[in-house]
Structure 1
């Protein structure tokens, strides 16, 4: 393993923390940013394709199954 490979996990954690902080700031300001995949997920929910919507949500966000299911359930 070279030096670059050993830094990746640490950098991924730092990016995740930064993204979390930005999400908190946006929520505090009452701002929302539409996600490019959200239209597809909404359309799948409208068409009764909940499982496919969960799959698309997970692929787009990296969310776990429960988190994705909860998010899709809120839509429909």
Structure 2
């Protein structure tokens, strides 16, 4: 393996790690903005149209929290931890 190939591989690896870090940072920012917006909407007494909310609340009432988390994740696209927190707030 010559040095050019090794250097190219290292530069590519560094670029991928940097890109992954920036994506993760953007996702964290988006989650914070969404939380703030949710708080503002709650404070104003406004509700976002969430057709899946009734299903998630019914699953929580029936004691099917894991299924409720799964439905919440599929509907909103959030991660496991955030979905669990949201379902816990509903229950």
Q: TM-score, normalised by structure 2?
A: 0.53
Number of residue equivalences = 58
In structure 2, list runs of 5 or more residues that go unmatched.
1-25
CA RMSD of aligned residues (A): 2.5
User: 1:24: which partner in 2?
Assistant: 37
Deviation track 1:15-51 (CA, whole Å, cap 9, x = no partner) reads xx7xx58x83962744212300000000000000000
Structure 1: 4+ residue segments shifted above 4 A? none
User: 1:49: which partner in 2?
Assistant: 64
CA separation in 2, counterparts of 1:60 and 1:24? 18
In structure 1, list runs of 5 or more residues that go unmatched.
1-12
Tell me which structure has the larger Cα radius of gyration.
Answer: 2
Structure with the larger RCO, 1 or 2 (CA within 8 Å, 6+ apart):
1
